[in-house]
Structure 1
């Protein structure tokens, strides 16, 4: 842990007045992103959750009807293709230099075409009505659609990840945006589509309304997709990149070097990798197939929403008092504890089948868990941003796209494997597609409960180990940002006064690390 007094003492120890001023800058509330852009940032964050993604499994299982085992193999092939094209696309993005920036051309250019193509997903039940789960033309369409959207989605996901690290150079300004987005977008209604969809599913499944599921999914899926696309496009049009990229394009060797010596990103990736071995099913499926209601989950989570909002008030004082590492570890263990408790209570005397009791138990878990919501959202988002800044501090240049690809490569290989395992496990536990809600076998119901509570927590517990050795905390993090400030100012002065020949020379010096001087501390 690193509290305020420890940081202050460390800052005063053996540094010049100039260095002390640079360190003070790290703790200032500097704002580079104005009101208009902040509003656009909020709309973009809102759009990321304004969908019915929580019901994708129900759409594929009960409406489109794709066989579990075939879906698992389709996931393997499309995932393998995604891994192959990732490296090529990552290097392409990192070598991009345009007047609009490094990432914006991909984000703006792909937005409308991807929205139109994505709409085909919700039209599958209309293209292939009343067909079996193994109908070949439907499977071919599903495979082709996934392969194409994986490729286009790689461009946008890599570019988006890098873009979000460059809209402001100051870590406090970045934390402010993250906090505002996470706090306010819930009140803007980002969860409304999933809430409405849950209610509609209950009404249809209980024969209260006679609507067809495919029509409801089409209206909700396509409607939210178009609205989200408009907000996202608006953000990319009005925002801009503010972190300077290198003048010259980095080589493949330099990109690999930036990944290998980025200790923070390696630890984050290792934690994600170990956590990725978590085996589970969605809590939504437990509520639908065991407790018999999709909207119950929304109702029991409602009281905890206020806790989630209040929790953001704790983020700034906690970040000032405790290290990033301490908050990262504590939040992880705290969350796991409550889910283990739910699993234990539900496993006693078949409590998992008792609707009223489990609503109180899971509602209580949500209430306690939401006190850590603000820390979870802000710290987890900032970890990756800090790792990208570490890359610039360590090497003298940024490799957001290549790092993102390298980080996701192992995770995608694992994701392909684990996604197939989850699909095959559903078959093994006796899950039958298309049954009326609440009519699965008792053995299947217990496994659905276990795979949405205790099993994923226990199978992913190793993810906490790398968090104990995360290096960018307290004084070291502050000094890294102080050095980055001084370096960026120096490079900006040199670039502004350089002629074309000198500019090319500066570009080579950047890539060779000539501006990298770790004067304040050694790494």
Structure 2
């Protein structure tokens, strides 16, 4: 029997659900380091410590949320009640993050940690069920690729708004006062996030669920998760991707100002990530359907490495620099659609190996990879700025060189690591056989 096709409204609501979760997160990723260090005037090293500790605490929180999803039984399903009850607190906490009061520096650091950690907890309560929802909506790989493509659209719109639009809107709303401007933009984006998450709750449905009992032993379930090869590859793939993404989102502002000496390029380079995500959402599904996830990812990541190696040679020519940069961003963006599909297929692999789906727990593990990756990338840039004695009003030449080679060298190394991880993906060419064996319920040797 063929899988039922999803309604257009359901696909769109699913895709733009990522806008709801990612818009606050992307604005924070792109500008929270700048806001804390340059606007509030907090020490860069202390800010890096806040980012790192807050995200490492997610190791426990994300697993608990994932287990909660697998244990949830409600009239709305297993994932949708989370969207309903976290939407408003998430938007409100985002506004608080960009509302650091004029207290002592120590009190400001405590406030920054508590609000940033609160945002992360609420993000977990929504993003983990959101990721767990896709394999519940459809078992068809083609539909999953289409949903992943639309999710990439939602991601790209959130990055465009969270990067390109942020600083111009800060200028418009702030009238020269960046504190007031950032707060106003946070209110606007928080409202948009709230609308998108409520639409996700209203329009998306769960069709395939784990029929296992709500009560299960947690430690054995975690043990099965870490023996799931597809999940391990997906975890590593997302971890390395988001270390690179977090670092680039944080360092690009400094790179454009201090290395290229062209601040106007901030509003071109950061949105280019989103623009290429939008383009890749259309080109990635047919490419990946033809090549498979493993070969497709290895190919585009290898191309991106070559392009980033060529970028230093183009610094004196802005048009050529941006052309090479756009091509590199398009190559890496294709892997986001692949990653979303990988996450769904880890559920099929898990059911084949262990007889249960555990969508929530598996999604929690991958969510942890994305947040820890972002934390490591962002904190790494903050620590680098602190180590070289970066001073916003008088940056040294050594600081500029550290920024330059963090941007180029770090990116190439991380792209290479992602290629190595992708080579171990086990599902290409196996998905139909695995689904068939699950359907017949024949015992499969581990």
Indicate the TM-score class for this superposition, using the shorter chain for normalisation.
0.7 to 0.9
RMSD of aligned Cα (Å): 3.4
TM-aligned CA deviation for residue 237 of structure 1: 2.1
**Partner of residue 416, structure 2:** 461
Select the residue among 362, 379, 383 that pairs with 2:342. 383
Matched, 1:481 2:435: yes
Alpha-carbon distance in structure 2 between the residues aligned to 1:262 and 1:32: 29
Distance 2:12 2:278 in 1: 18
1:224 maps to 2:178 = no
Alignment of 1:95-494 (within 5 A): 95-124=71-100, 127-128=101-102, 135-183=105-153, 191-192=160-161, 194-199=163-168, 211-249=176-214, 250-273=216-239, 281-299=250-268, 314-343=283-312, 345=313, 352=315, 354=316, 357=317, 359-369=318-328, 372=331, 375-407=334-366, 419-433=378-392, 435=393, 440-458=395-413, 461-474=416-429, 476-484=430-438, 486-487=439-440
Pair 1:200–1:248, CA change in 2 (3 A):
closer
Q: 2:240 and 2:275 mapped to 1: Cα distance?
A: 32
Gaps of 5+ in 2: none
1:376 match: secondary structure: helix
Question: How high is the TM-score relative to the length of structure 1?
Answer: 0.73
Q: Normalization by structure 2: what TM-score? A: 0.85
- Stretches of structure 1 that go unaligned for 5 or more consecutive residues are 1-21, 347-351, 488-514
Residues 179 and 374, structure 1, Cα contact 8 Å, conserved in 2: no
Change (3 A) 1:393 1:222: same
The number of aligned residues is: 439
Residues 256 and 55 of structure 1, relative CA distance in 2, 3 Å threshold: closer
Report the structure, 1 or 2, having the larger helix content.
2
Report what 1:501 is aligned to.
Answer: none
Q: What do the CA deviations read for 1:63-99 (whole angstroms, capped 9, x no partner)?
A: 2222122223333443453334344333233211222
Would you say the 8 A contact 1:394–1:516 is kept in 2?
no
Q: Is the 8 A contact 1:202 1:293 kept in 2?
A: no
**CA 1:422 to 1:152, structure 2 compared with 1: closer, same or farther past 3 Å?**
same
Q: Which moved more, 1:99-108 or 1:297-306?
A: 297-306
* CA pair 170-335 structure 1, distance change in 2 beyond 3 A: same
Give deviations 1:446-491, integer Å, cap 9, x for gaps: 22122122233225523322322221112x122123334x35xxxx
Aligned twin of 1:517:
443
Instruction: Rate the CA distance shift 1:64–1:166 in 2: closer, same or farther, 3 A.
Output: farther
Question: How far apart, CA to CA, are the structure 1 residues paired with 2:177 and 2:153?
Answer: 36
Q: CA deviation at 1:312?
A: 5.3
Shift of 1:307: 7.3
The alpha carbon displacement at 1:62 in A equals 1.4
- Distance in 2, matches of 1:450 and 1:419, equals 15
Post-superposition shift, 1:310?
5.9
Alignment partners' CA distance in 2, 1:158 and 1:80: 16
The 1:403–1:363 alpha-carbon spacing in structure 2 relative to 1, beyond 3 Å, is: same
C-alpha separation in 1, matches of 2:388 and 2:108: 26
* Cα deviations by residue, 1:303-349 (Å, 9 ceiling, x for unpaired): 99887666555445433432321112112111121111113x16xxx
